[in-house]
Structure 1
Amino acid sequence: MPPIRVSIPSFRSEISSLEKGYTVFKIDVLMNGRQHAIEKRYSEFHALHKMLKKSIKPPEVPSKHVRNWVPKVLEQRRHGLELYLQTIIMENEVLPKIFLDFLNIRHFPSVPKTESCGKLTHQPVMLYLRDPYLFPTAHDTFANVVSEGVIHGVFYPDLQPR
């Protein structure tokens, strides 16, 4: 079972006074039990396809030139785009960052197809809400402790820590 599931359950027409009408596709994304929805135009799928061709061999994207006002044609395009996304997920061991960004999936530089996807294998030791080196305060002793530890480790490796 892949860690990411996508579907395109619906689409809607958008009318704009600045340009001719266009179609927006609703994409449901389910990853590790969390679901969110995004909306994308066909032009965004086309741009994704062009960028993906630089790193993987993506499947064919549905035709760019169709009559956007014909419901049957739009339904075929919806189905084709859904199949396009699902095929990329199924055929790639590691999903490209550009693909994850397209689906608004953050915090994973790449997503391997394993059940342990996204699980930490270690526990954080310290957590800072701001960088103590870039924004030190008068009561920060962290910088001194780290600096002293590095200096002693590099220049005095035989000495015991104090």
Structure 2
Amino acid sequence: MIRVSIPSYQKVEGNGDSYTAYRVDVFQSGSYHTLHKRYSEFEELHKQLKKIIVTPEFPPKKVLKFNQKIVEQRRVALEAYLQGILEGETIPRSFLKFLDVHLPRSGSFDSLDVGLSEPTVTHQPMIGFTKDSFLQQNYRSVLPDIVSQGVQNGLYSFHQEDFLGLVR
């Protein structure tokens, strides 16, 4: 399971040059790391990806230097672009390399999809839970956990009238 967001950006200056660096947060199966990428790096990734998969819309380059409104719009569009790639049926290895994500080399991770020139990863969306609320009780609070009680009542209790109606 991979999740990506671009929560912020910053103006970077050095050696007489200035550019915008976007902070990319990558969550992968319980681990987390942050990258800083320039727009040109996103653009290069897009050029690679559009050769092998159908890509989401890529935000165009605008010439204005450091206009915060345009940079913010681009940040949102780049985040949508990355998330759109993750929603696809296959994730190209070049995309994983861009995100600095390392996967084990076994099974379906090494498969080649027909018509694609590079190995891809197939995945299915999944939901993960950190703990099972039905197995662990929270004894730290003196107040009842009404959310857990409501879910348990909704899932596991039945009224005798409903049961009798089913039997008849």
Structure 1 unaligned residues grouped into runs of 5+: 117-162
TM value normalised by structure 2: 0.62
* CA root-mean-square deviation: 1.7
Give the whole-Å Cα distance in 2 for the aligned partners of 1:81 and 1:50.
14
Letter of the 1:53 counterpart: K
Give the whole-Å Cα distance in 1 for the aligned partners of 2:48 and 2:40.
12
* Alignment match of 2:124 (pick from 109, 114, 117): 114
After TM superposition, give the deviation of residue 115 of structure 1 in Å.
Answer: 6.3
Does structure 2 retain, via aligned residues, the 8 Å contact 1:9–1:28? Answer: yes
Report the count of equivalent residues.
112
- Counterpart of 1:81? 78
After TM superposition, give the deviation of residue 53 of structure 1 in Å.
Answer: 1.0
SS in 2 for 1:15: strand
TM value normalised by structure 1: 0.64
| 1:8-157 matches, cutoff 5 A | 8-18=6-16, 20-90=17-87, 92-108=88-104, 109=109, 110-114=120-124
Letter of the 2:91 counterpart: L
After TM superposition, give the deviation of residue 100 of structure 1 in Å.
Answer: 0.3
Change (3 A) 1:115 1:45: closer
Letter of the 1:104 counterpart: D
